[in-house]
Each structure stands twice: as C-alpha cells, then as structure tokens.
Chains A and B, each alone.
Chain A
Amino acid sequence: MKKKFLLGGLLGIVLIGSIIYAADHIDAPAVTGPGSTSPGNDITDIYAFQSPADNSKMVFVLNTQGLLSPAATGAASFPANVMYEFNIDNTGDNIEDLVIQCLVQNGKMRVYGPVAVGTPGLTSTVKTSGPSTEVAVTGYGAGSPSTASNGNGTRIFAGPRDDPFFFDLGRFKQIIAGTAASFNNPGTDSFAGTNVMSIVVEVPKSLLGAAASINVWGETKSK
C-alpha cells in the first residue's frame, strides 16, 4: 500500500499541468500548450532500426502531431518553417557528429545529409553541402506512398501514417490517479485508430561512419 501511495502521489505531481502524455506525444508546453501555434513541432516518437529490406541500411523515423483523428488528418501538414533533424553521434560523446535535415515546402520534402554537423547544438542552418533527396509529400487518402531515392542509396518518405505507437495510456492515467491498482489484461491501445505526420529516411550504414554503435535522437527546430 505504501508503494502504491508513493506511486500515485509522485506521478500526480509530475502530471500537474499536463493533459495527456505518452511516448513523447504532447510533452512540451512550448510546442503544444494553450496558445501554441506550432503543432508541427511536437515529436511523438523516434525510431531507429536496421532496414528489414536490406541489412546494410538503417531506417530513421520521426513522427509528429500525435493523436490525429482520421477526420483531422486530411488537413494536417508539415509547416514550412520547421526543420526535422535526425542527430547522430558516432563517437560516443552524446554530441552529434552527423545530421539528416528534413524540410517541407510546397508539397515537397527535401532531405539533406547525412552530413557533418559543423557546429553542434540548439540551432541549425541548412547544410546544403550535403547530399540531397526530394520527394512529394504523400497526401491523405493516397493509394500508395510516394517515395524517392537518390544515387547514394538514400530513400525518403513524408506524409500521414498510422501511429505505430501502442500503449494503454487510459488505464495508466487511472493508475496514477489512484482510481485503478493495475493494468487490465488485455489492455486497450489508446492510440488505436489515430494517425501521425511521419518522416522516414533510410540510409546506407556506410554513410553513418564506422562505429559499431551510434547514438540517435530527433529534434524539431523552427525559424
């Protein structure tokens, strides 16, 4: 009982002021709070995995704008003032060495990189010296995804997708509110039937350096 009390009490404190949270959905008041005009800046999830189609390649996914209902998905878009940036550390110091920068304008996404970061940190300029790839943003209701590749083996995609994240967030909220003591079995996926605005970039591992392990994180930056 003591543990349960502590759990509820502490999470209650953590939760004050927040409406709902999950993997990283709606985690930041600055990008999703009342009055925010930058919904395209809220990252929901980052994925990084060896390509299931080619084990010499790595896949990076950056999802944004979580909990889009089907009715709202058609109107969702990637703002033109946002940079979606994958950061890659291949020297083990948790400082980015390479970046992959994604920009969306006029219905097209252009991806620069992987390219040396130059100056790491909280601000970025577009690394136009890097290799670039461009693709039409896939529209909601498109029969098949629009993808593009370039000569170095990079493939890219941008558009609405089913949110791949799954979690019984509803029950979790009851647990932390003290109105439930444990998860249900089976649980209920609170993200079933919702979409995200997704960016997928697949690159040859050879473009990411020679390290046996890399550290990856995603960022949104705006101007």
Chain B
Amino acid sequence: MIRINKFSIVAAVILGFVLVGCDKDDAPADNFDTSGTFTQNDQMARPAINTVFVSSARKNEFNTTVPSAMNAAFNAQFQSVLTGFGYTTNVLGWDKATFAGALVTDVLNVSMTGATAFGTLTGRGLSDDVITTELTLIFGGASGMSNPGLNNDNVNANDKAFSATFPYLASPF
C-alpha cells in the first residue's frame, strides 16, 4: 500500500502514455485488476461436512473436487464414517447409503419460492441451529430422540443478536 505513492502514479501515467498507441485492450481506467486465472483452494456448502466426514489426508482433495464428482470419489468414506457412528436410520427414514448419498454432494439446496431454513433442507439462515440438526440426523435415530446426550449440543443461538436490516450479521466484538 505504501508503494502506491506519487512516484508510482507518475510512472503509471507515463507508461500509459507510452503504451496507449499500441494496446487496444486497455484495462478499465479505475485500476481494478481483473486479470489472471484464479485456482480453487477452499469450498463449502453445508456445515461440518468436510470437517466431520472426510479424513485429514483427503480434506484438500475434497475442497478441490467439483460437487458433481464428490459422490463417486467420497461416498464410500461417508458410509464408513456413518458406520462408525453406529448409524442405521434417522427421522427422514434414510438408510446409510441414502444418507451418505445426500451428504456427500456438498451443496446447499435453497428454495426460491418461500421461506428458507436448514432444518427443512431449504437453505441456511443465520439463526438456524445447524449443528443440532445434523447431530439429530446422525445420532437421533428414527425418532430423532435417541442418544439424547449426543443429538443436541445445547447451544441453541448465537451470542449476539442479528439485525433485521442488511447486512443482517451482527457487528464484530
């Protein structure tokens, strides 16, 4: 930042003057750099998918696998993790293969026609208790009530109130 000083500006003006006759693809005059190719580092949709269901050795791989290829690459690992959890079914009636198949393609399904909430698989709002939803689906069994010590972390809300107006998130501490 410090190097963007008067000298740089003068140099840029001179360069621009020199180059103007031979460069027909001038960048926008506002100096906002939009050049180059950006390569993927991290990727996420639903909370705690990569962190819980993917082994440490494959986390980078998961972050750089396009969603449409996740099922083929990671379904077996997700089923293995569910086996480790003692999973058999959940309140949605999904067997292990069905649940793994739903989890492994890490995209957030979002309704365009009405209310959105993580608990109804129609999006994710700021106040949604996503961890308890996931714990219930993993440990709660067919009733959602099994393993009461594990199906809810008993933290039900954020520590700071959200705003009703844009940008909705609370100011920082």
* A interface residues with partner B (beta carbon < 8 Å): 2-3, 6-7, 9-11, 13-18, 21-25, 27-31, 38, 41-43, 45-53, 55, 58-59, 61, 68, 70, 73, 80, 82-83, 85, 89, 93-95, 103, 105-106, 108, 110, 120-126, 128, 140, 145, 147, 155, 157, 160-162, 164-168, 171-172, 175, 181-189, 191-195, 198, 200, 202, 205, 208, 211-223
Contacts and interface: CB of A to CB of B under 8 A. Distances in A.
Contacts of B123: 48-50
Contact count band on B: 35 or more
B101 to A, nearest CB: 12
A22 B105 CA distance: 19
> Which of A85, A167, A185, A214 has the most CB atoms of chain B within a 10 A radius of its CB?
A167
A48 B45 CA distance: 9
A223 B38 contact: yes
A13 B50 contact: no
A215 B108 contact: yes
Nearest to A197: B172
28 contacts: A6-B85, A7-B85, A7-B86, A21-B51, A23-B130, A24-B49, A27-B44, A47-B124, A48-B108, A49-B126, A93-B68, A94-B68, A108-B32, A124-B37, A126-B34, A126-B35, A140-B172, A161-B169, A162-B160, A162-B171, A166-B156, A167-B155, A186-B154, A188-B155, A194-B173, A213-B110, A215-B107, A218-B43
Contact of B39 (A160, A216, A221): A221
Nearest to B52: A14
Majority-rule SS of B interface residues: loop
A40 to B, nearest CB: 9
A182 B150 contact: yes
Contacts of B127: 164
Contact of A171 (B40, B153, B156, B158): B153
Given A27-B51, A46-B45, A217-B45, 7 more contacts: A13-B55, A53-B166, A58-B110, A123-B37, A161-B171, A219-B40, A220-B41
Given A50-B123, A122-B39, A217-B43, A145 B112 contact: no
B21 interface: no
Nearest to B152: A183
Contact of B153 (A10, A181, A183): A183
A28 B66 CA distance: 16
Interface in B101-119: 105-117
B33 to A, nearest CB: 6
Interface string B23-60: 00000000111111111111111011111111111011
B165 interface: yes
B64 interface: yes
B108 A216 contact: yes
A182 B152 CA distance: 9
Given A49-B123, A164-B126, A10 B81 contact: yes
Contact of B110 (A160, A215, A220): A215
A220 B114 CA distance: 29
B160 A110 contact: no
B142 to A, nearest CB: 16
B63 A28 contact: yes
A10 B84 contact: yes
Given A7-B86, A52-B164, A217-B44, A29 B59 contact: yes
